[in-house]
Structure 1
Amino acid sequence: MELNTIKPSSGAKHAKRRVGRGIGSGLGKTAGRGHKGQKSRAGGYHKVGFEGGQMPLQRRLPKRGFKSHLLKFNAEITLSQLQALAVEEVDVLVLKQAGLVADMIKVVKVIKSGELSKKIVLKGIGATAGAKAIIEAAGGSIAA
C-alpha cells in the first residue's frame, strides 16, 4: 500500500444531490419542493405542532392532572425499614444519617408496610392510621 493509492472504501462517499440544475437531472424546475405553498419558499417553515392556523392538537385537548412541586421534599418510610434501624427515637435527621431518605427531604411519613415488633418513638414524623396503630401496639408513640 502506498500513500498515493489510498482511497475511501466503496460506498463510503456519494455525490451530493444538486437540485435545480435542469430537467435532465430529474430535480430541475421546482427542485423537489412541489408547487407553491409555504414549504416551497426559501426560509418559509413553521414550528412543530403548527397546523396551518387550525387550532393545534395540544390546544384542542383539555388540560389534565397536576403535579405538586413540593413532592420532591416529601418521603415515605415503611415499618420494616424502621424495624431495621438500631435506634429507639427516630426523627428526620436520624433517617437522613441512616441513608433511608434523601438530604433535601423535609416531610417524612411512615406507611403500613412490613412488620414492627420493637418500641419506637417518632419525633416530627407523620404516620398513616394503620402504621400508627401498629407502632402503638408495639409500645411506641408518635410525637408531633
Structure 2
Amino acid sequence: MATITRKVPDLTKLPRIGLNNLKDLPGARKAERRKGRGPGSKRGKTSGRGHKGQGQRSRKPRVGFEGGQTPFYLRVPKHGFYNKNAKHFEPLNLGRLQYLIERGRLDVSRPITMYHINKAGGLGNVKQGVKLLGNGAEWFNCKIDIEVSRASQTAIEAIERQGGKVVTAYYNKLSLQALLHPEKYNERLKPRKALPQKSEMPYYLNEKNRGYLLTEEGQRRLSEAGLAGCYVDENGRVAVPGKPTVEGDPPAPTKEEYLKQLATAKRVVKTPYEAAVKAKYGDKWETAV
C-alpha cells in the first residue's frame, strides 16, 4: 500500500518572527488609485465623476432623501403605539427550571427566589421582574418553593401538583436591583420591598395568582401603610374598609360584609346575552346563565 507523505517545513530552520520581518501576505494590500492626475491615469480631470450635477459634489444627500418628493417613510401611514405602562418581564419556563435543578445549580431544599435563579444563569436581562411560564409542565417533577414577579396558571398548577408552593411578589426597580445584586448594598441600608402601584394591587391581592399580599408578611406591610383588610371588589378596584373606594361613595365595608352583600344582592343585567336570557326565563334567569 502506497504511503502519502506531506512536506512539513522544519520550523526550527525558519527565521524567528520579530517586528523587523513582519509584513502582509502578497496581495493583501492594494494601492489606492490616484485621481485628478491627468488623462493617462484614467481618473484625470473630472476624476471619474462626470460633468456637473449631484454626482460631482462632495456632499451627498442624507439617507432617505428622494430628490424632493415625499419620502417613503412619510408616505406610509403610522400604525401601533408604544404603551408606556407596559411591563416587560423576563420569561422563565418550567423546562428551564427543571434543567437548572437537574444540573445542581438550584437547591430545592430551600426557597428559590429570583436571586438564586439569576446566580444559576437561568435569566437574561431582568428589567422589571420574572414571569414563570408553563412550557415544560408535563415533565416537571420537582417539589420547590419559588418566588417570582408573575406566574401563569399552568405553571402554578404544575408546581402545586408536585406539592410545591408559588408566591408572586412585587418589586420596583430599586428593590429588584437590591435582590439581584445584594453585594452592592449595605445590609443595614438595603431598601426593603415596596408596595405595588395602585394599578397592580388587584393582581397581588388575588388568591388565584398566589399574591404575596395575602401572606403574613404582605398583611403586615398593608397594615403599616394603613391598608389593613383591603380587598378587590367585583369591579376590580381595591377597597379599604372604612374608606370610600371612589370619591363620593360611602365607606367600603369589610371583606366579610362585602361577601355577604354579594351573596344576598340581586344580580344586575350587564350584557346583551344576559338580557336575552332574562327575557326568555324571567325571574329564574340567574340560574340559567
TM-score using structure 2 length:
0.36
Aligned to 1:51: 66
State the distance in 1 between where 2:42 and 2:119 align: 72
How do residues 1-144 of structure 1 correspond to structure 2 at under 5 angstroms?
16-18=34-36, 32-41=48-57, 43-64=58-79, 74-83=89-98, 84=101, 85-87=106-108, 88-102=110-124, 104-114=126-136, 115-144=139-168
Paired residues of 1:76 and 1:111 also in contact (CA < 8 A): yes
State the distance in 2 between where 1:62 and 1:129 align: 39
When residues 25 and 102 of structure 1 are mapped into structure 2, their CA distance, relative to the original with a 3 A threshold, is: closer
Secondary structure (helix, strand or coil) at the match of 1:122 reads strand
State the distance in 1 between where 2:53 and 2:68 align: 14
Q: Which runs of 5+ in 2 are unaligned?
A: 1-25, 169-289
AA in 2 matched with 1:89: P
AA in 1 matched with 2:155: A
Paired residues of 1:109 and 1:127 also in contact (CA < 8 A): yes
Shift of 1:107: 0.8
When residues 95 and 69 of structure 1 are mapped into structure 2, their CA distance, relative to the original with a 3 A threshold, is: farther
Return 80-89 or 50-59, whichever deviates more: 80-89
Of Structure 1 and Structure 2, which has the larger fraction of its residues in helix? 2
State the distance in 2 between where 1:129 and 1:14 align: 66
Paired residues of 1:91 and 1:125 also in contact (CA < 8 A): no
Paired residues of 1:74 and 1:108 also in contact (CA < 8 A): yes
Of Structure 1 and Structure 2, which has the larger fraction of its residues in strand? 1
Paired residues of 1:74 and 1:107 also in contact (CA < 8 A): yes
Shift of 1:124: 3.5
State the distance in 2 between where 1:132 and 1:97 align: 23
Taking only aligned residues, the RMSD between alpha carbons, in angstroms, comes to: 3.8
Shift of 1:94: 1.4
State the distance in 2 between where 1:112 and 1:53 align: 54
When residues 15 and 82 of structure 1 are mapped into structure 2, their CA distance, relative to the original with a 3 A threshold, is: closer
Paired residues of 1:135 and 1:141 also in contact (CA < 8 A): yes
Paired residues of 2:94 and 2:155 also in contact (CA < 8 A): yes
Shift of 1:50: 1.0
Aligned residues: 132
Shift of 1:66: 6.2
State the distance in 1 between where 2:31 and 2:121 align: 56
Shift of 1:143: 1.7
Secondary structure (helix, strand or coil) at the match of 1:90 reads coil
When residues 103 and 51 of structure 1 are mapped into structure 2, their CA distance, relative to the original with a 3 A threshold, is: closer
When residues 68 and 91 of structure 1 are mapped into structure 2, their CA distance, relative to the original with a 3 A threshold, is: farther
Calculate percent identity across the aligned residue pairs.
Answer: 34
TM-score using structure 1 length:
0.64
Secondary structure (helix, strand or coil) at the match of 2:154 reads helix
Secondary structure (helix, strand or coil) at the match of 1:48 reads coil
AA in 2 matched with 1:16: R
